[in-house]
């Protein structure tokens, strides 16, 4: 009777990472720096791919989609976290929380699908180089990109529905700095076993059966092909091409699997892992791809030298 008389929660209190004012200020400075690097890095990468004709290839097309997903993923979370670090009342409405959860899952699951597609692209480029132009046509690339975004939307709708359809009539304090499914399920005023199993199964289907298996199979064939290469320069080039993508995959999938596919750990550990894949990974992706990629560094050098030449002409 007591539970039945309780009203539905209309807003949540985000407890954040710390309640110490000095720690909050340090976190604000750190997160602001990370977010600025994320925005600038991903926008710069998309800009370079747009203006440099040498980067108009399937690999960089998918990389642009990944940068867009990274940028949206981070923007959905970090600005609100920054505001809450400076405010006394760290509340978020139920609708805003639901929207954040929905967008978080859309962009996160899209990233998973895009990374799998990118691994397939590298498999075709290295294992079937002669047939690469005929296999990875622009029509196929666009279809794969659309499929990745569609996959993210569908998974997000399923997970969000199972999470948000539950009654929330008790505590409204979320032990997190943004609205994430595991943190919300703890507050539900009913049994959450069905919802937890649905989210877990979607994670198995998306993370393991489809995307991870495609990545493992693709890189398995790539490694076999590279080892058989007689040229040391060819092996080095192949590993260098795939190295950036593999680093990004390990960073993102590792943190996501820890959160959604492993037994529950401490709340502090879950929040630290969430900080890594919600803030750090979107920042690292453009840095890893640009610093380890000669084509991107070449495009950046062209833009820099062109701007310098234009300025010199104006001065003279």
* SS3 (DSSP) at 269: helix
Question: Closest Cα partner for 288 from 70, 31, 58, 27?
Answer: 70
Query: CB-based burial of residue 81 (10 Å sphere; 0-12 exposed, 13-18 middle, 19+ buried)?
Result: buried
Return the percentage of the chain with pLDDT > 90, whole number.
34
Is 31 a residue whose pLDDT tops 90?
yes
User: Which is more confidently placed, 36 or 272?
Assistant: 36
For residue 20, the model assigns a pLDDT of 87
Is 147 a residue whose pLDDT tops 60?
yes
Rounded CA gap, 288 and 243, in Å?
Answer: 9
62, 118, 265 from 133: Cα distances, Å: 15, 15, 46
For residue 4, the model assigns a pLDDT of 47
Rounded CA gap, 72 and 103, in Å?
Answer: 8
For residue 1, the model assigns a pLDDT of 37
Rounded CA gap, 68 and 27, in Å?
Answer: 25
Domain boundaries along the sequence of the chain: 8-315
Q: What is the mean pLDDT of residues 113-125?
A: 91
Q: What is the mean pLDDT of residues 185-202?
A: 86
Sign of CA dihedral 228, 114, 185, 162: negative
pLDDT interval class at 316 (50, 70, 90) = low
Cα-Cα-Cα-Cα torsion 24, 27, 29, 34, nearest 10 degrees, comes to -150
pLDDT interval class at 53 (50, 70, 90) = confident
Q: What is the mean pLDDT of residues 298-314?
A: 66
Q: What is the mean pLDDT of residues 202-226?
A: 81
pLDDT interval class at 120 (50, 70, 90) = very high
User: Which is more confidently placed, 70 or 8?
Assistant: 70
Query: Does CATH number 3.40.1280.10 belong to domain 8-315?
Result: no
Q: What is the mean pLDDT of residues 172-182?
A: 88
For residue 261, the model assigns a pLDDT of 62
**Contact at 8 Å (CB) between 249 and 215?**
yes
For residue 289, the model assigns a pLDDT of 73
Among all chains, which residue has been given the structure tokens 């701007």?
307
Mean per-residue pLDDT over the chain, rounded: 84
Residues 6+ apart with CB under 8 A from 189: 3, 6, 166, 167, 168, 169, 170
pLDDT interval class at 2 (50, 70, 90) = very low
Question: Closest Cα partner for 35 from 278, 297, 288, 292?
Answer: 278
Rounded CA gap, 89 and 297, in Å?
Answer: 44
Rounded CA gap, 65 and 146, in Å?
Answer: 10
Read off the pLDDT of residues 249-303 as tens digits, 9 standing for 90 and up. 777 777 777 766 665 556 667 777 888 888 888 888 888 777 667 777 777 777 7
For residue 3, the model assigns a pLDDT of 46
Residues 6+ apart with CB under 8 A from 151: 109, 110, 113, 206
Read off the pLDDT of residues 183-192 as tens digits, 9 standing for 90 and up. 898 898 888 8
User: Which is more confidently placed, 215 or 204?
Assistant: 215
In sequence order, what DSSP letters do the residues of 169-223 get, joined into one string? -S--EESSSS--HHHHHTT-SS--HHHHHHHHHHHIIIIIIIIIHHHHHHHHHHH
In sequence order, what DSSP letters do the residues of 47-106 get, joined into one string? HHHHH-GGG-SHHHHHHHHHHHHHHHHHHTTHHHHHHHHH-S--EEEHHHHHHHHHHHHH
* SS3 (DSSP) at 13: strand
Read off the pLDDT of residues 90-106 as tens digits, 9 standing for 90 and up. 899 999 999 999 999 99
Give the H or E element holding residue 292: none
pLDDT interval class at 309 (50, 70, 90) = low
pLDDT interval class at 214 (50, 70, 90) = confident
19, 183, 205, 278 from 264: Cα distances, Å: 23, 11, 20, 19
Q: Is the pTM of this model over 0.75?
A: yes
In sequence order, what DSSP letters do the residues of 104-170 get, joined into one string? HHHHHHHHHHHHHHHHHHHHHHHHSGGGHHHHS-HHHHHHHHHHHHHHHHHHHHHHHHHHHTS---S
For residue 292, the model assigns a pLDDT of 63
User: Which is more confidently placed, 294 or 63?
Assistant: 63
């Amino acid at each position: 009777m007591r539970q039945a008389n309780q009203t539905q929660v209309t807003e949540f209190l985000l407890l954040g990472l710390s309640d110490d004012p000095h720690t909050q200020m340090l976190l604000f400075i750190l997160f602001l720096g990370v977010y600025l690097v994320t925005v600038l890095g991903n926008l710069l990468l998309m800009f370079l791919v747009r203006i440099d004709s040498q980067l108009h290839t399937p690999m960089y097309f998918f990389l642009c989609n990944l940068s867009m997903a990274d940028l949206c993923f981070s923007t959905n979370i970090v600005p609100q976290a920054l505001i809450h670090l400076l405010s006394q009342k760290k509340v978020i409405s139920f609708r805003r929380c639901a929207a954040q959860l929905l967008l978080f899952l859309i962009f996160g699951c899209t990233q998973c699908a895009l990374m799998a597609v990118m691994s397939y692209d590298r498999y075709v480029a290295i294992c079937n180089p002669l047939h690469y132009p005929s296999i990875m046509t622009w029509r196929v690339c666009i279809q794969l990109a659309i499929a990745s975004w569609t996959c993210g939307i569908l998974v997000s709708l399923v997970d969000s529905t199972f999470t948000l359809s539950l009654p929330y009539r008790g505590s409204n304090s979320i032990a997190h700095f943004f609205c994430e499914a595991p943190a919300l399920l703890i507050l539900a005023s009913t049994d959450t076993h069905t919802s937890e199993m649905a989210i877990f199964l979607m994670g198995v289907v998306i993370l393991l059966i489809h995307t991870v298996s495609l990545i493992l199979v693709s890189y398995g064939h790539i490694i076999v092909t590279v080892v058989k290469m007689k040229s040391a320069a060819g092996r080095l080039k192949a590993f260098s091409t795939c190295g950036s993508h593999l680093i990004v995959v390990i960073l993102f999938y590792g943190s996501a699997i820890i959160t959604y596919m492993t037994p529950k750990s401490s709340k502090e550990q879950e929040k630290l892992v969430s900080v890594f894949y919600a803030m750090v990974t979107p920042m690292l992706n453009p840095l890893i791809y640009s610093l380890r990629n000669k084509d991107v560094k070449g495009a950046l050098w062209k833009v820099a030298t062109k701007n310098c030449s234009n300025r010199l002409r104006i001065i003279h």
